[in-house]
Structures are given as structure tokens and as C-alpha cells.
């Protein structure tokens, strides 16, 4: 375990590999992804084809967007546990309102609660300094309650997933899922914001050392407020996409995505304590988790054993990744 400083000439191969990987933390993730796909191909020869890839990408995209919310909030040392509620609200509202009011107003109505919840989160975390975990749990409880009340008022109208959302969610054009039309701009935006803008720098700065950031003139609450509103909006967009994919709006639509979204960000190398990580790793993390789920389904194990393996693998990957990146 203990890695002592060795001479520059006689560096053993193992350590060279390790050093290479710690310089490029994405390489081990790519290797893991490839290994999982190879394992899948060995277990069920011929499964890895164009259609399967398109399908995997389709299911990974909502997860990747939600994991993007987690990545950005984690960079500041926070976490956003209201994403699944926000996504579900957006999905449910759009599938009840778009029929009557048309898609544009429907989407606007669907994203309104997302903004409100984001504002509440931002005010709570940024101004009142509530722990993000508690604040987002609380707002998500309020959100679920509102949704339940709302559901009873629209019980007569019924739900219908708008055509453009199911086209976006499930459609495939020339081998590429249509969801990429939404995801590529969203992902580029997140990457651009995190890597190339002042706001992105501020997120890293606040997460790395809040006191230092504050002393150098960062207005903490403004950054946090903008962050949580943005995160909620993204979650709402993910919900719109997800309902197009699943096509069955319910009050627990996006709940199964909440813990995997945290896991995807963590597997992708984002530190839950803030200041370290990035979105590229998170996308890979979301892909890895999606392929892993397929793999575990194909093995035809009982549900219990599948969950056990899922948990163990997430833990194992995170632990191994930490060792690789941090042991120098």
C-alpha cells in the first residue's frame, strides 16, 4: 500500500501504469466500460449491436442529466436529492397539461415547479445555510405532496405523453437516438459552464475552500442560488425526456433514478466533499451503471442478488478509483 518515492529510472511497470491513470482519471473508467461491454458480449454473444447501443444510450441519457445535477451540486460540497421529485413533477405536469394547452405552454408549466423548488433549495442552502441534504429532502417532500394534490384535480383529464416527447425519448434516426439532440447541447453546456466560464470556476472554488472563496470576494449565496435553480431546471428537462422514454407517467416515475444518479456522479470521480470532479466522468459513470444494469438483468438472478451486486460494484469501483487517483 505505501508508495515511497522511487528513483526516476527504475520505475516498475505497475507504478507507471498507476501514475498514467492518475494523470488521466478517465482512462480507468473507459477501460471498465469496455470490460463490462465485453463481459456482456461473452455472456450473450451477438447482443452488442447497433440497436443495443442505441437502447443503452437512450436509457443512460436521463440518468446522465440527473447525475449532472448531482455533479454540479457536489462540486460545491452539496447534493441535490430533490432531482427525482422535480423530474417526476415536470413529467406528470407536461403529460396532463400539454394536451390542453399545446406543447410550448405545457413545457413551460412543467418547468415552473422546477424553478420554484430550485429557488427554495438555493435560498435554504445559500442564505439560511441549511445542510443541502436536509434542504433538498424537505423540498422534495413538499413537491411530492403538491403533486399528489395536483393529481386529484386532474384525475378526470387523464394523462397523455405528448408526441414530440415520445419522439425525443424513444425515437431513433439513422442509428442515433433522438434524445442525443437534447443531450449533446445540454452536456456541452454543462461542460462549457464547468470548464470555461467564471461561474464554473466559482463552483470549484466554493467547494474546494469556501472560506477562501468568500474572502476573495465570491458572493456565496448568489453562486448557490444560481446553482440550485440550474440544477432543478436540468432535472425538469431530464424528467420531460424520461417520460418520453417510459411513456407511463406516474407519481414515482423518476424515483428509481435518484440513488443511481448519485452513484453515477461518484463512480465518475466527483468528490462528494466538493472541489474535485467533472462532467465527462459522470457521463461515463451513467453509461457504466446502465450497462451494469443490463448485465445483471441478463444474468437472470433474483432481484435481491441483483441489488446486492449493484451495491457491491458501485462501492468497489469508487474505492478502486479513489486508490488509483489519490495514491501517488
Partner 1 sequence: MIRLIRRNAWVAGLCVLFILLAVTTKLIQPDYGAGDFGSLMRAVLPYAFAVAAQTVVVIAGGIDLSVAAMMAVTSVTAAAMMNGASESHALFVVPFVLALGLCLGALNGFLIVWTRVPDIVVTLSTLFVFQGVALLILDAPGGGAAEWLKGLVVGTVPIPFLPESVTAWIPKALIVLVICLAVVWIPLRRSQLGLSIYAIGSSELAAFRSGVSVARTKIAAYAIGGLFAAMGGLSLTLSTGIGAPIPGPYLLASVAAVVLGGVALGGGKGGLLGPIIAVIVLRLVRTDLTLLAVDPNATTIIEGLIMVIVVMLGAFLAMRGRTR
Which chain residues interact with partner 1 by CB under 8 A?
79, 120, 124, 128-131, 133-135, 137-146, 148-149, 151-152, 259, 262-263, 266, 271-273, 302-312, 314-315, 318-319, 322
Shortest distance in whole angstroms from residue 260 CB to partner 1? 10
* Shortest distance, position 307 Cβ to partner 1, whole Å: 3
Shortest distance, position 89 Cβ to partner 1, whole Å: 13
Query: Which is closer to partner 1, CB of 70 or CB of 280?
Result: 70
Helix (H, G, I), strand (E, B) or coil at 177: strand
Q: How far is the CB of 57 from partner 1 (least distance, A)?
A: 24
When the beta carbons of 3 and 163 are compared against partner 1, the nearer one is 3
Instruction: Provide the minimum distance between the beta carbon of 147 and partner 1 in the complex, in angstroms, as a whole number.
Output: 9
d(CA 57, CA 51): 10
DSSP 255: G
Minimal CA–CA distance to 286: which of 40, 90, 66? 66
Residue 57 CA to residue 235 CA, distance in Å, equals: 18
Write a three-state SS string for 22-55.
HHCCHHHHHHHHHHHHHHHHHHCCCCCCHHHHHH
Q: What count of residues does the chain have? A: 328
What φ, ψ does residue 175 adopt, rounded to 5°? Answer: 85, -10
Which DSSP state fits 172?
E
Dihedral (C-alpha) 112, 281, 29, 314: value to the nearest 10 degrees? -50
Q: Is 45 or 302 the residue whose CB approaches partner 1 more closely?
A: 302
Based on CB atoms, which residue is closest to partner 1, 98 or 284? 284
Tell me the closest approach of the beta carbon of residue 148 to partner 1, in angstroms. 4
| 126 versus 169: smaller Cβ distance to partner 1 | 126
Angle ∠(30,35,40) on CA atoms, nearest 5: 130
| C-beta closer to partner 1: residue 231 or 261 | 261
What secondary structure letter does DSSP report for 274? S
CB of 165: closest distance to partner 1 in angstroms? 26
Residue 1, H or E segment: none
User: What's the closest the beta carbon of residue 257 comes to partner 1, in angstroms?
Assistant: 14
CB 11, min distance to partner 1, A? 25
Return the number of the residue (32 or 57) whose C-beta is nearest partner 1: 32
Burial of 263-293, coded b for 16+ CB within 10 Å and e otherwise, reads bbbbbbbbbbebbbbbbbbbbbbbbbbbbbb
CB distance 121 to 136 below 8 Å: yes
C-alpha 319, offset from chain centre: 20
Task: Between 50 and 327, name the residue whose CB sits nearer to partner 1.
Answer: 327
Q: How far apart are CA 28 and CA 38, in angstroms?
A: 15
Question: What's the CA dihedral at 182, 185, 190, 194 to 10 degrees?
Answer: 170
Nearer to partner 1, 103 or 138 (CB): 138
Amino acid at each position: 500500500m505505501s508508495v515511497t518515492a522511487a528513483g526516476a529510472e527504475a520505475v516498475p511497470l505497475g507504478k507507471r501504469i498507476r501514475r498514467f491513470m492518475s494523470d488521466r482519471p478517465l482512462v480507468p473508467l473507459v477501460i471498465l466500460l469496455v470490460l463490462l461491454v465485453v463481459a456482456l458480449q461473452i455472456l450473450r454473444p451477438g447482443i452488442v449491436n447497433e440497436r443495443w447501443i442505441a437502447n443503452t444510450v437512450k436509457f443512460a441519457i436521463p440518468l446522465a442529466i440527473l447525475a449532472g445535477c448531482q455533479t454540479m451540486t457536489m462540486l460545491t460540497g452539496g447534493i441535490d436529492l430533490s432531482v427525482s421529485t422535480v423530474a417526476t413533477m415536470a413529467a406528470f405536469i407536461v403529460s396532463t397539461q400539454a394536451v390542453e394547452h399545446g406543447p410550448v405552454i405545457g413545457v413551460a408549466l412543467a418547468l415552473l415547479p422546477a424553478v420554484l423548488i430550485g429557488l427554495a433549495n438555493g435560498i435554504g442552502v445559500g442564505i439560511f445555510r441549511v445542510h443541502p441534504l436536509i434542504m433538498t429532502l424537505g423540498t422534495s417532500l413538499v413537491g411530492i405532496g403538491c403533486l399528489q394534490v395536483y393529481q386529484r384535480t386532474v384525475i378526470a383529464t387523464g394523462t397523455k405523453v405528448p408526441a414530440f416527447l415520445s419522439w425525443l425519448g424513444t425515437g431513433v434516426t439513422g442509428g442515433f437516438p433522438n434524445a442525443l439532440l437534447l443531450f449533446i447541447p445540454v452536456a456541452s453546456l454543462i461542460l462549457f459552464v464547468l470548464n470555461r466560464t467564471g461561474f464554473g470556476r466559482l463552483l470549484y472554488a466554493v467547494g474546494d475552500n469556501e472560506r477562501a472563496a468568500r474572502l476573495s470576494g465570491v458572493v456565496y449565496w448568489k453562486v448557490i442560488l444560481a446553482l440550485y435553480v440550474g440544477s432543478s431546471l436540468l432535472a425538469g428537462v431530464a424528467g420531460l425526456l424520461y417520460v418520453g422514454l417510459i411513456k407511463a407517467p406516474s407519481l414515482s416515475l423518476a424515483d428509481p433514478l435518484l440513488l443511481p444518479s448519485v452513484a453515477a456522479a461518484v463512480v465518475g470521480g466527483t468528490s462528494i466533499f466538493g472541489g474535485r470532479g467533472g462532467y465527462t466522468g459522470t457521463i461515463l459513470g451513467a453509461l457504466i451503471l446502465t450497462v451494469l444494469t443490463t448485465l445483471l438483468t441478463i444474468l437472470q438472478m433474483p432481484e435481491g442478488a441483483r441489488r446486492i451486486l449493484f451495491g457491491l460494484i458501485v462501492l468497489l469501483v469508487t474505492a478502486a478509483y479513489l486508490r488509483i487517483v489519490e495514491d501517488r
